[in-house]
């Protein structure tokens, strides 16, 4: 067992973790195995990545073949077939009009890349003054400086304020008065989108705005589902004022809502789609931006010997990641995993909403295979109750994630009804038998 000292863990209370480590050493299908031999169900699909389940044999085989053929080639000046094949495949899955794909290694890079593409697009059109981005409160777009600028999670922004890009933010779509126990899309609230026109365009003027960037469903702040008609209204306002609309589908892309993209599930086509996570089933780091032909073609100019966009990463389109993603897309299609999500979603919805009467639960919301179960915070200690229940449920055999006091459940697409029931039963048990500090809380 190595010492735990040197590794500075991301987004983790390091001192607390190292005092009581939770180490997993292997995984298969729905479950991890811990260092002490216990099975832990993966209720987060490995941070929203592993829709097809851990160590899917087709994905593992494809990666083994790739490493024995071409371990690495960059895509600067040379290219390799995997990246071209993957881009073509993703373009074919995307909504019509979006058929150019820039590959990166993560969701954060995808967001910063899309922001650069937006700036390059406007500059190519002679409108370089359009450099203000519009995000949304409680949005998460990764941790690059672009992503935190449009993002709306206070804790991720607090320490880095001076380095932000120019951004304004729509209000979050969350309205506890009407949505606390909403099933699927809340019926009311489409008009929240009007703020884009009535306040933000009115204040800054459309001629200064580069793009509007939103998650179709805000995932990292606890699954906030857009009201019926909200995304359509955003699209209409962007069209009226000539603004680019970017969907961050890092969580929703590749099946989570029962369609390949949320754009298709909601019937709204943006100008760019960000993806990562499920695209490679988490087996290798990969992300990207799907770009409309119009935006792409506008940037394709300048002297032929110079790169049109001075941007890219050494590992953009890494052969191993491309092999993993091509195999993942095969699996998503051949096993019809989006169809399985659609089939399982009503059972999942009923199961998570059965927690509505558990002690301290103040909200349950869901869509596709994603749900947020929110607990009332402990007085004066926001986030503590969520963290404690998350730790308690891990001890019972379920990995969840707790942004603040909301427990997020996002099971793999291959889950069965009884897997879902087991997960929800463990959650209930942990909520009903809380750790000492949460006892007696409302």
Our finding on whether 141 is near ligand PLP (CB under 6 A) is yes
Of residues 66 and 113, the one with the C-beta less far from ligand PLP: 113
Our finding on whether 133 is near ligand PLP (CB under 6 A) is no
Q: Which stretch binds ligand PLP (CB under 6 A): 15-23, 59-67, 102-110, 321-329?
A: 102-110
Helix axes 417-432, 384-396, angle to 10 degrees: 130
Q: Which of 66, 75, 106, 280 binds ligand PLP (CB under 6 A)?
A: 106
The order of strands in the sheet holding 39-42 is: 24-28, 31-34, 39-42, 398-399
Of residues 111 and 423, the one with the C-beta less far from ligand PLP: 111
Q: Which stretch binds ligand PLP (CB under 6 A): 29-37, 138-146, 338-346, 420-428?
A: 138-146
Our finding on whether 142 is near ligand PLP (CB under 6 A) is yes
Our finding on whether 251 is near ligand PLP (CB under 6 A) is yes
Cα three-residue angle 72-250-387, rounded to 5 degrees: 110
Of residues 52 and 218, the one with the C-beta less far from ligand PLP: 218
Distance of alpha carbon 110 from alpha carbon 344, whole angstroms? 30
Q: Within 13 A of 24's CA, how many CA atoms are on the CB side?
A: 17
Of residues 147 and 338, the one with the C-beta less far from ligand PLP: 147
Q: Which two tokens stand for residue 150?
A: 């449009």
DSSP one-letter code for 255? T
Instruction: Look at residue 103 and give its three-state secondary structure.
Output: strand
Q: Which stretch binds ligand PLP (CB under 6 A): 19-27, 100-108, 323-331, 409-417?
A: 100-108
Q: Are strands 167-170 and 209-214 parallel, antiparallel or unpaired?
A: unpaired
Distance of alpha carbon 418 from alpha carbon 350, whole angstroms? 13
Of residues 111 and 430, the one with the C-beta less far from ligand PLP: 111
Closest residue to bound ligand PLP by CB: 107
What distances in angstroms separate CA 266 from CA 86, 187, 228, 368, one per listed residue?
25, 14, 9, 12
Distance of alpha carbon 359 from alpha carbon 383, whole angstroms? 16
Quote the least distance from Cβ 214 to ligand PLP, whole Å: 10
Of residues 53 and 144, the one with the C-beta less far from ligand PLP: 144
Considering just the CA atoms, what is the radius of gyration of the chain in Å?
Answer: 22
Of residues 51 and 360, the one with the C-beta less far from ligand PLP: 51
Quote the least distance from Cβ 107 to ligand PLP, whole Å: 2
Quote the least distance from Cβ 326 to ligand PLP, whole Å: 19
Q: Which stretch binds ligand PLP (CB under 6 A): 206-214, 247-255, 351-359, 361-369?
A: 247-255
Handedness of CA 60, 62, 63, 64 (dihedral sign): positive
Alpha carbon 382 to its chain centroid, in Å, reads 23
Q: Are strands 406-409 and 370-375 parallel, antiparallel or unpaired?
A: antiparallel
Distance of alpha carbon 113 from alpha carbon 289, whole angstroms? 7
Q: What share of the chain is helix, strand, coil (3-state, %, to 5)?
A: 40, 15, 40
Quote the least distance from Cβ 139 to ligand PLP, whole Å: 8
Of residues 140 and 348, the one with the C-beta less far from ligand PLP: 140
Say how many residues touch ligand PLP, by CB under 6 A.
15
Q: Which stretch binds ligand PLP (CB under 6 A): 103-111, 126-134, 172-180, 203-211?
A: 103-111
Our finding on whether 189 is near ligand PLP (CB under 6 A) is no
Per-residue binding string, ligand PLP, 212-231, x by CB under 6 A, is ---x---xx-----------
| 321, 280 Cβ separation under 8 angstroms | yes
Beta strand segments in 251-360, E: 272-275, 287-292
Of residues 106 and 124, the one with the C-beta less far from ligand PLP: 106
Q: Which of 276, 286, 290, 345 binds ligand PLP (CB under 6 A)?
A: 276
Our finding on whether 234 is near ligand PLP (CB under 6 A) is no
| 216, 368 Cβ separation under 8 angstroms | no
The order of strands in the sheet holding 370-375 is: 361-367, 370-375, 406-409
Of residues 146 and 377, the one with the C-beta less far from ligand PLP: 146
Q: Which of 94, 170, 250, 326 binds ligand PLP (CB under 6 A)?
A: 250
| 216, 263 Cβ separation under 8 angstroms | yes
Of residues 142 and 258, the one with the C-beta less far from ligand PLP: 142
Binding residues for ligand PLP, rule: CB under 6 A, are: 106-108, 111, 140-142, 215, 219-220, 248, 250-251, 276, 287
């Amino acid at each position: 067992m190595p010492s735990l000292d040197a590794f500075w863990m991301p987004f983790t209370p390091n001192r607390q973790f190292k005092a009581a480590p939770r180490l997993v050493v292997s995984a298969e299908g729905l479950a991890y195995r811990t260092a002490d031999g216990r099975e832990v169900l993966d209720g987060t699909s490995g941070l929203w990545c592993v829709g097809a389940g851990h160590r899917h044999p087709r994905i593992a085989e494809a990666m083994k073949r790739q490493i024995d053929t071409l371990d690495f080639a960059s895509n600067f000046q040379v290219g390799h077939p995997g990246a071209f094949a993957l881009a073509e495949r993703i373009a074919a899955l995307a909504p019509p009009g979006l058929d150019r794909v820039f590959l990166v290694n993560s969701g954060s890079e995808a967001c910063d890349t899309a922001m650069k593409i937006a700036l390059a697009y406007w500059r190519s059109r002679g409108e370089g003054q359009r450099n203000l981005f519009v995000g949304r409160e409680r949005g998460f777009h990764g941790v690059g400086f672009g992503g935190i600028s449009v993002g709306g999670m206070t804790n991720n922004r607090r320490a880095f304020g001076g380095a932000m890009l120019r951004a304004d933010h729509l209000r979050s779509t969350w309205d506890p008065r009407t949505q606390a126990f909403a099933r699927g899309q809340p019926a009311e609230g489409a008009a929240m989108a009007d703020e884009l026109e009535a306040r933000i365009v009115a204040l800054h003027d459309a001629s200064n705005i580069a793009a509007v960037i939103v998650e179709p469903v805000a995932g990292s702040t606890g699954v906030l589902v857009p009201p019926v008609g909200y995304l359509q209204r955003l699209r209409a306002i962007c069209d009226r004022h000539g603004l680019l609309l970017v969907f961050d589908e890092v969580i929703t892309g590749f099946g989570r809502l029962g369609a390949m993209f949320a754009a298709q599930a909601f019937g709204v086509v943006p100008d760019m789609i960000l993806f990562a996570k499920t695209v490679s089933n988490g087996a290798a780091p990969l992300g990207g931006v799907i770009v409309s032909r119009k935006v792409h073609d506008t940037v394709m100019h300048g002297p032929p010997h110079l790169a049109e966009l001075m941007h890219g990463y050494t590992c953009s389109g890494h052969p191993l990641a491309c092999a993993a993603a091509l195999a993942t897309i095969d699996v998503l299609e051949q096993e019809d995993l989006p169809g399985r999500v659609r089939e399982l979603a009503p059972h999942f919805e009923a199961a998570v909403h059965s927690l509505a009467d558990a002690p301290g639960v103040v909200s349950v919301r869901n869509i596709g295979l994603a749900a947020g179960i929110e607990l009332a915070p402990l007085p004066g200690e926001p986030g503590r109750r969520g963290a404690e229940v998350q730790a308690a449920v891990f001890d019972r055999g379920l990995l969840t994630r707790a942004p603040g006091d909301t427990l997020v459940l996002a099971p793999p697409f291959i889950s069965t009804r009884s897997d879902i029931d087991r997960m929800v039963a463990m959650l209930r048990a942990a909520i009903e038998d809380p750790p000492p500090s949460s006892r007696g809380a409302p």
